Each structure stands twice: as structure tokens, then as C-alpha cells.
């Protein structure tokens, strides 16, 4: 599966006038990644790609060879192998043809990072990581509310949330630290109200857009 993925991206890279710019959006489950990305898209020229949404879509695609595996991984809060997730992201980036993307909820572990770098690093330009920093307590309450309001997500329950937080602490935090070490992390306290968060988002994205 990895070989056609690499070939496809090379073809894409050759035809692109400029490398697409990528901002990774990371944070705990329920930290507000999807909500904040929606706000960014309303105010700045970005395409929002949620890795979780792409996986849920794939899971529900009739005849998908990965559907059952994705379903199981999501319920257990485990990270799906990068070949699948990166393949879906690559396809969405190519299809869109846009120049700026918010990649929400990826890379989530070392396997994701290695796979992304192997396949995408030559063809896209990762500008920075937006890190939505939010306490487990606040995040849990938000996800449980989202479940109670009928999200339909199989992982908006206490049992799955415990597992998702474990995965986040053990596997995703080291990736955020890795980017921090490279001076690439913009941290926003997302325990606060949306207007407060959006003020900080403006301070990050307005200069970024005017400089790039």
C-alpha cells in the first residue's frame, strides 16, 4: 500500500506550483480542535481536514477493506496505522488542490509522524502546530455532553474516553513535545470560552497569513 502512496504524491508534487502549507491542530479529545478549525476556516483561507472524520467516513464506506478495523480502533481509542490515515489525508489534499490545510488530530503518535514524514515531507510544508491545551476534566465533560446531545460517536462515553486520554498522554503528547523542541508549537489555552480562544487564534493566524 505504501508504494502507490509515494508514487501518487510525487506526481502531485511535480504538478504543484507551490507546496501546500499545513498547520497541524493537536490537543486532547474534546479540547475543541473541530470547533476552532471551523472558526479558522470562517476567517482565513484554509481547508479543514479532520483525520478522525476521514476515518469515520472510511469506516462507513460500503466495501471498505479497513472499515471493521477502524471501527474497533476508534472505540478503543487506539491509533489507526499511518498507511490508512495518511492515505486518506493525501487523497483529500490532492482532491482539494487548495494551498492551505488545517490537519486536525494528526499526527497522533510516532508511527503517524514517521509515515507522514516518509511520504509527505517533500511535497508539503508543515508551518506549525496549533496545540489546544485543555484539562482532562473539561475535555471529558465536553465529550460526554457531545454524546448526550446525540453526536452518534461510539467513543463519547466514559469507558472510551479513559482509553483515549491514555493514548493522548502516552502517544500524542510526545509528538507535541517533539514539535515544541523544534520551536514549532503555538499553544492556546482552550479551557476558556470560545470568544477568548478566538482572540488568541487571531493573534496567531493574522500575522501568519500576512507573512506567508
Ligand X SMILES: Nc1ncnc2c1ncn2[C@@H]1O[C@H](COP(=O)(O)OP(=O)(O)OP(=O)(O)O)[C@@H](O)[C@H]1O
Per-residue cell: 54 = 476521514
CB of 82 to ligand LLZGTKA7, least distance (A): 8
Measured from the CB atom, is 86 or 130 closer to ligand X? 130
34: contact with ligand X by CB under 6 A:
yes
DSSP 8-class letter at 32? S
- What interhelical angle do 51-59 and 67-76 show, nearest 10? 130
* Closer by beta carbon to Mg ion, 33 or else 164: 33
Partners of 129 in beta bridges = 24, 185
Task: For residue 90, state whether it binds ligand LLZGTKA7 (rule: CB under 6 A).
Answer: no
Dist. CA 111–CA 115, nearest whole Å:
6
State yes or no: residue 115 binds ligand X (CB under 6 A): no
The length of the chain is: 212
106 among the known binding-site residues? yes
Binding mask 169-188 for ligand X (x = CB under 6 A): --------------------
d(Cα 170, Cα 125) in Å, to the nearest integer? 27
DSSP state of 63: T
Q: Is 77 assigned to a binding site?
A: no
Q: Determine if 87 is a binding residue for ligand LLZGTKA7 (CB under 6 A).
A: no
Residue 77 found at the interface with ligand X (CB under 6 A): no
Closest CA to 120 of 81, 79, 80, 91: 91
As beta bridge partners, residue 24 has 103, 129
Binding site for ligand LLZGTKA7 (CB under 6 A): 29, 51-52, 55, 73-74, 77-80, 85, 105-106, 108, 112, 155, 164
Binding site for ligand X (CB under 6 A): 27, 29-35, 52, 105, 142-143, 145-146, 190, 193-194, 197
Amino acid at each position: 500500500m505504501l508504494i502507490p502512496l509515494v508514487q501518487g504524491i510525487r506526481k502531485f508534487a511535480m504538478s504543484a506550483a507551490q507546496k501546500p502549507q499545513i498547520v497541524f491542530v493537536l490537543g486532547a479529545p474534546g479540547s475543541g480542535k473541530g470547533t476552532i478549525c471551523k472558526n479558522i476556516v470562517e476567517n482565513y483561507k484554509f481547508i479543514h481536514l479532520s483525520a478522525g472524520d476521514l476515518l469515520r467516513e472510511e469506516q462507513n464506506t460500503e466495501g471498505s477493506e479497513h472499515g471493521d478495523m477502524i471501527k474497533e480502533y476508534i472505540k478503543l481509542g487506539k491509533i489507526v496505522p499511518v498507511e490508512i490515515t495518511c492515505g486518506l489525508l493525501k487523497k483529500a489534499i490532492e482532491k482539494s488542490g487548495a494551498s492551505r490545510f488545517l490537519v486536525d488530530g494528526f499526527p497522533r503518535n510516532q508511527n503517524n509522524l514517521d509515515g507522514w514524514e516518509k511520504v509527505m515531507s517533500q511535497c508539503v510544508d508543515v508551518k506549525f502546530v496549533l496545540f489546544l491545551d485543555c484539562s482532562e476534566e473539561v475535555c471529558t465533560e465536553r465529550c460526554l455532553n457531545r454524546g448526550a446531545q446525540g453526536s452518534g460517536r461510539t467513543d463519547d462515553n466514559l469507558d472510551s474516553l479513559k482509553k483515549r486520554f491514555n493514548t493522548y498522554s502516552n502517544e500524542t503528547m510526545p509528538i507535541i513535545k517533539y514539535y515544541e523542541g523544534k520551536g514549532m508549537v503555538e499553544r492556546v489555552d482552550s479551557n476558556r470560552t470560545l470568544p477568548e480562544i478566538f482572540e488568541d487564534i487571531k493573534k496567531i493566524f493574522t500575522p501568519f497569513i500576512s507573512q506567508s
